[in-house]
Structure 1
Amino acid sequence: MPGWRGINCDERCPSQTYGPNCNQVCQCLNGGKCHPENGICQCPAGRHGDVCELTCPPDKYGPNCLHNCICKATEKCDLKTGECTCPKSAFGLSCEIKNCDSKESDCRQDCQCSIKKSCNQVTGKCQCKPGLRGPQCLQMCEFGNFGLDCKQKCRCANGEPCNPVDGTCLCLSGFTGILCDQVCAKGWYGPNCKLKCLVCNRNKTCHPQTGQCSCEAGLINYDCKGQCPSGYYGPLCQQACQCMHGASCNPSTGACQCLSGFYGALCQFRCPNNFYGANCQHRCKCFHNSPCNPVTGHCVCPKKLSGRFCEVSVINRLKLSFI
């Protein structure tokens, strides 16, 4: 089947190959990656085209050039990040804020603010535009705040960022909606759910963040029939088990299955005195407060005691032997 190789078709195609038995060579350029099944190129930020041969036009940026630059028409944005490249005469998210003209002495001499005529004429205190803060309005709002003096809180779901000027939510991969509180609809993924999933095998859905075909937790491989390898669990088996002292974890939930002699959510604790077995559920049966093996429960007798449960006094036994 396309995208896999090996006797049991359980090995994913290595990088730069695709198709049945991985016998096709990817044609993607400029760091583009091809899909292991059909060879379609997934272009990096700043590139687009069938084989990622084209550079984003001036008004686009990001992977496959899907995002629009917000810079003023006369300025350029970074083809990878979308960050505006402002001249010395302007600043701001979209280079929309002009600096004071050095020839205008009233701004330069009277106001210490970064924007012309933006200071209070009585106190000289800078009156920052939305999205800016600080004594001279040179700092952007802290993450999670926006608006005048950065006093308003972002309302975006899942802790996602908002535009520091107007509070518009900037949805991360896998979410959409005004507040970024809606998961991508079936068949779509990526930032603001703008990317269309490739067809997954057996009607499986693709992951709304990565676009990978989603198996149920604990399963892997093209048909989602293989179990996670030892030490891993969850969707796509990407999460590492945290269990300690040789314990295994459930491939679906990651819950630790402790060996005898240990307990705790991560099997991090040894059994306390007088307890033994799996999850330390059994109480020792030893006499005279003698300890027991935390794994097997066998009594560990001190020198003066003997017997299966340390119930026999060695001294008394010696006395009886002379009678």
Structure 2
Amino acid sequence: MEGWTGYSCDRECTSGTFGLGCARICHCNIPGCDHVTGLCFNQSNGCKDGWKGPSCDTECSLGTFGQSCAARCHCRTPGCDHETGVCTHSLSVCDDGWTGSACNQECPFGTFGRLCSYECHCNNMGCDKVTGHCLNQQDACAEGWTGVSCDKECDLGFFGVSCLNVCHCLVPGCNPVSGVCNTSECERGWSGYACNISVQGEMEKDVSNGIIHEYGIISAICVGLLLVISVAVNVWMCVKRKRTRMSDNADNEPCYENVQHRQLSSPTTSQTCDATATPPGYEELQFRNATRKAYENVTYENSYDSVELRAGGNSTARL
């Protein structure tokens, strides 16, 4: 009868055993299980390492181990101890990307491969723990490294990010990160702490900058001359237009026509009238283009046959 033992089957199974003839063992994390069914008295604490099931009497399946068989071992040759996780085969190592005595720990950041013995030098986000490929392929490798996994040091004569820069050292060889030559001299025609600056290129750059500077000065002078010429032309045109208007006004100056006059009664043969006084016999004078009501500088001769009138300007009419 399950849960009992003895000749008369009158004794309960001892602690940790259950079932028919008390032949089964329960591996509860906290000892104690039902002597008939084997159920652990404290189900919340689970089973001991390497066991699983309601009665904690089932060994972990291949590749798993630990408490309630929740851990997994990554042995290259499958199989590990169901309690400790140590690979069963003594010569077996962990799968690529895993490490630890039970091969259940991923490679640390920046390492990959078998036994996590390789380093990847990706700029950001690290690399795949198995292949070593950078997780962000858009980013270049860190300075001094190249390759898909950024695990290859720059070749001789190259340095910098993804080994894209060349150092021109007199004796080949430079630091793969900084580019500083292993010796202190550069090849002829090169300069800089990494011997990566072309002397000829710098000279051409200086010449180019000088030419650009000279062109800038010449352009500024030309613009200044154009401004001066423009101002001079505008002034000349203004003066010309003013003179033209003055000439037109002179041509259109009004003259006297058909001035009616009468004989003056003065006994004097010759007289000059005061321009500010009102002359005797004041009459309105008709002009060709204007009407004026003032006599200026009136002179009359010999029985008043001739009268010279000056009307405010230089125009003259004889009567």
TM-score tier (shorter): under 0.3
Give the structure with the higher percent helix.
2
Give the TM-score taking structure 1 as reference length: 0.24
Give the TM-score taking structure 2 as reference length: 0.24
Give the structure with the higher percent strand.
1
Determine which structure has more spread, i.e. the larger CA radius of gyration: 2
